[in-house]
Amino acid sequence: MVRDRNQPNSTHRVLVSGNYCHDVLIKDGVVLAETLGGAASFISNVFDGLSVPYNLVSKVGSDFAYSVPRDPIVVPNCKTTLFHAHFDSGVDGDGRQDRVLKRVSSCDPIKPSDLPESRFDFGMAVGVGGEVTVETMEKLLEICNTVFVDIQALIRAFDGVNGTVKHVALKESGFFHLLPRIGFLKASAEEALFMEVEEVRKLCCVVVTNGRRGCRVYWRDGEVEVGPFPTNQVDPTGAGDSFLGGFVAGLVNGLTVPDAALLGNLFGSLTVGQIGLPKFDFRLLQVCLTCPYK
C-alpha cells in the first residue's frame, strides 16, 4: 500500500450520520439470527478497531436492544428501525444469494439540528431506512470538508404495504443537485443501475463495489479497478458498509484512493464470512496501516 505523501499524517475527525437498526436474518422461512444492524454499526465496528476518531449521530427507539460504543439519540414512544432480510437457499451465477429486504418499522429521521455545530474533516451519510433527509445532507456538506455518501441513503424507497425495499432513480431522489458537493458516492453494482455512472462521475468520485469481483473507482478523467479478497459468503449483510468504513479509514490514515479501496475490499470480504456484525483480528489489520510504505 502507498501513503499519499501530500496528505499530512495528522488526526482527522469523522462525522457518521445514520441510524442503528435491528436486523433479523431469515432463510427459507426460518430465523437464523437477530443482530445489531444499520450501516452506522458496521462502520463504527471498523473505526473502533482501527482507532479512527469519529462522532456518530444515530437515532433509535426505546426498544433498542444493544450496547454500542457511541450512544444514540433515544426517541421516546418510537421503535428502532427494524429490517427483515429474507434469503433462499439458491445462489445466482455470481455466487450471490437472492435477498428480499423489508423495513418492518422505522425510527425518526435525523434532522439538521441533530448534527453538531463543529467542523469535521470527513462526513458520512449512511442512512438505511430513509433517515437522512435532503436538509440533513445539506447541513452535513456545510460542516464537513469531504463527504462520503452511500447511495442507499438516497435512493431507497419502501413499499407502503409490506415495507419491501425498492429503489428510485438517483435523478428522481431529490438529492441529485447535491452531487457536485459530494466527495465520494459509493454504490453496489446493483444500485449503480439506478444512476448514469458516466454522468455522475463528472460530478463526484464514484465507487462501485461488485462482490467477489472487487470494486471500481471512477472520477472525471479516469478509473481504476481494485481486486478482491477471496472469501466464502455466509451473510452479505453489511459488506458494503464495512467496505465504506475501511475505505474511509484508509483515507483518514493517508492511503491513496486505490489502496484505501483495497482496504475496503478486505473489510467487505471479512464481513460476508460471518453472520451479523463481524469480529475482526485488528492486530493483523493494524499492520495494513502501520507497516512501512513505499
What CA–CA distance (Å, rounded) separates 13 from 120? 5
- The cell 425518526 sits on which residue? 108
What CA–CA distance (Å, rounded) separates 194 from 190? 8
150 is catalytic: no
Return the exposure string of 93-120: e unless at least 16 CB atoms fall within 10 Å of the residue's CB, then b. eeeebebebbbebbbebbeeeebeeeeb
- The cell 428501525 sits on which residue? 81
For residue 119, what is the DSSP state?
Answer: -
Q: Which of 28, 241, 259, 281 is catalytic?
A: 241
User: Which ranges in the chain belong to alpha helices (H)?
Assistant: 39-50, 134-143, 152-155, 197-200, 239-252, 257-272, 282-290
Point out the residues that are catalytic.
241
